[in-house]
Amino acid sequence: MVKIYSARDITEAQIIKGMLEAHNIEAYVGGQYLQGGVGDLAVMDFATISVADENADAARELVGKYERDELG
């Protein structure tokens, strides 16, 4: 597994996970159980998306399209 994206929050991470899975790329959301500790934790890099190594390039391309709002 390789981390391909750091989301703003758990909601965005789940959206990206769903987008990747809609393109047949299994994804894992890291940090989803840390959201309750946000007041005690630094709010950076706790919601991450990871995929299998062999899917990393395709997943990064899709995330890039998501960021550029090209998936319409």
More confident residue, 21 or 70: 21
Rg, Å, the chain Cα set: 12
pLDDT of residue 7: 92
Residue 17: in which H helix or E strand, if any?
A: helix 10-22
- State which amino acid sits at residue 14: Q
For the chain, what's the residue count?
72
Task: Tell the CATH topology of 2-67.
Answer: Alpha-Beta Plaits (3.30.70)
- Compare 32 and 12 and report the one with higher pLDDT: 12
Query: pLDDT tens digit string along 21-57?
Result: 999 999 999 976 555 555 555 555 679 999 999 999 9
Which tens digits make up the pLDDT trace of 54-66? 999 999 999 999 9
pTM, whole model, 2 decimals?
0.80
